[in-house]
Structure 1
Amino acid sequence: MAVPGYEVTERRLRCVLPFEAAPAEVGLLRRTVVKQLSRWGTPVATDEAELLVTELATNVVKHVGEGASATLILEWRGERLRLEVHDKSQVVPSLKTMGCDEECGRGLHLLAALAVDWGTVLTAMGKAVWCEIPISGRHACLRIERAVEALEKYEGVDGGVAPPGRRRDVGLEESAVELIADLLHWTAACGRDPEDILDRAQMHYEAEADAA
């Protein structure tokens, strides 16, 4: 059963929550996380954090085994909230082994779409699967800034410069279309599925738009 754990307040806020990998425990763990974030006063999308905690804990139930001991660590690091689940299995998950199906949802595909960064690491006792989400909306602003910078640099490629008199946003829009098309060509040339890349990008966008 999930317990209140303990909290250390220094330069970072950290909370450790041991739990048992069982379907009934996932809901309890999720509610505990919501209370902890409220106690910290983190300006983070609670729904997003709940969903990620659910995926991380459910993956332990499904791929490590029901009843297994695990631990969730919450850590507020600057402008990011880190969610880290430790278990005693050293089998490293992948998007293939923990893919999309009706039983476990979108698994790590959803994790990759919602988080700004994520990964797995082997530990002395097993492994940890972690992800980080932005504390504020600054992440979305940075994405827009990077997009404008990339499009401005791209305008001079393959006739991407808007003719004199054309509105600035129209020129950037045409550059965006050309850039996306070129990225899809690159994706296909690397042996990847362009539609899968578009779907993943759409998932990133929708998750961040909902969190805004």
Structure 2
Amino acid sequence: MSGHDSSSQLRSVLPFEAEPAAVRGLRRVVRKQLVEWSLSALAEEAELVVSELAANVIKHVGRGVAATLVMEAAGDRLRIELHDKSYQVPVLSSVTCDDERGRGLHLLAGMATDWGTLLTATGKSVWCELTAGLETCSRRVRRAEAALMEYRRDAGAPPLLRSRSVQILEESATDLIADLLHWATAQGGDPDGLLDRAQMHFEADTA
């Protein structure tokens, strides 16, 4: 994985090989770059988006293939592009727990302000845009909705009914919280302490 395009202060070009170890490195580089660009508020979302895009390349194009991450910042807007040498365009569609494709795209669509795919001379680019100008609460709400939709797909839940979507997602949120408490217990943690800390973070964000 190599460095950063010096031709523009707010453009970073990072070639890499699509390997799990490289994905971890990309996350670190992304966070460092966004801090330098005074966009650290977007670091968490950007790291997740980059991880999902890179994981899709590994899964659907091939492990070890050449790929390139491009980030461009203008004002409070960050554009992320991941280029690979496959012409196969990803499609956002309804998925179930048995589907191997489309999961990362649903998460991407829930996180990003906008996203899409462009065919290039050597393959394709999957891109998305994140905006730092959104309130923290709004970003958290979008992340939570994306996580809940992914959780429902993993659980094999039926499609949402428009008339009861909020109620159904609340039920899924309850199940997800219960699963997290089981996870904390299995790791030797304190589930009550986890809930207390989550409540403290919520109150701090909404103060």
Fold agreement, TM-score > 0.5: yes
The question of whether the paired residues in 2 share the 8 Å contact of 1:7 and 1:16 is answered with no
Structure of larger gyration radius: 1
Matches of 1:73 and 1:196, distance apart in 2: 37
The question of whether the paired residues in 1 share the 8 Å contact of 2:67 and 2:83 is answered with yes
Per the alignment, residue 86 of structure 1 pairs with 83
Gaps of 5+ in 1: 142-192
Q: CA RMSD in A?
A: 3.8
CA offsets 1:99-141 (integer angstroms, 9 cap, x no match): 8669789310000000010000100010000000102226988
Residues 90 and 122 of structure 1, relative CA distance in 2, 3 Å threshold: same
Match of 1:111 among 108, 111, 115: 108
Per the alignment, residue 27 of structure 1 pairs with 24
Matches of 1:100 and 1:4, distance apart in 2: 38
Matches of 1:196 and 1:71, distance apart in 2: 39
Report sequence identity in percent.
Answer: 50
CA offsets 1:148-170 (integer angstroms, 9 cap, x no match): xxxxxxxxxxxxxxxxxxxxxxx
Tell me whether 1:46 sits opposite 2:32 in the alignment: no
The question of whether the paired residues in 2 share the 8 Å contact of 1:117 and 1:131 is answered with yes
Per the alignment, residue 3 of structure 1 pairs with 2
Per the alignment, residue 178 of structure 2 pairs with none
Name the SS of the counterpart of 2:6 in structure 1: strand
The structure whose residues are more often helix, as a share, is: 2
The question of whether the paired residues in 2 share the 8 Å contact of 1:44 and 1:136 is answered with no
Name the SS of the counterpart of 1:65 in structure 2: coil
Gaps of 5+ in 2: 139-158, 174-201
The question of whether the paired residues in 1 share the 8 Å contact of 2:93 and 2:102 is answered with no
**Pairs within 5 Å for 1:1-212:** 2-9=1-8, 13-96=10-93, 106-137=103-134, 194-195=160-161, 198=165
After TM superposition, the score normalised by the length of structure 1 is 0.61
Per the alignment, residue 182 of structure 1 pairs with none
The question of whether the paired residues in 1 share the 8 Å contact of 2:91 and 2:102 is answered with no
Task: Report the number of matched residues.
Answer: 155
The question of whether the paired residues in 2 share the 8 Å contact of 1:100 and 1:107 is answered with no
The question of whether the paired residues in 2 share the 8 Å contact of 1:14 and 1:75 is answered with yes
